[in-house]
Amino acid sequence: MNTQFISDEQGNKISIVIPIREYNLMMEELEEFHDIKLYDEVKGLNEKSLLLADYMKKRKKTQKHA
């Protein structure tokens, strides 16, 4: 990765410049990691699952009675 650092007057690195392509790749990987983390959290709840088709049938019945 081609990186450049920006330093303050004391020589402390305060920022980094990376190519936009590398940034976009990092953001995609971060989003994927976040999705996996959320999946693991939801899976850990051990909630009862419902097929989408069954949910849609139940929802139609509920809407007819409203």
Range of the domain at 19: 4-64
pLDDT (tens, 9 = 90+) of the chain, 66 residues, equals 789 999 999 999 999 999 999 999 999 999 999 999 999 998 888 888 889 999 999 888 888 766
pTM: 0.55
Q: How far is CA 1 from the centre of its chain?
A: 23
Query: Total structural domains in the chain?
Result: 1
**CA dihedral in degrees (3, 37, 56, 51; nearest 10)?**
130
Nearest to 17, CA basis, from 37, 34, 2, 39? 2
Reported as type and span, the H/E element at residue 9 is none
Check if the beta carbon of residue 32 is closer than 8 Å to that of residue 26: no
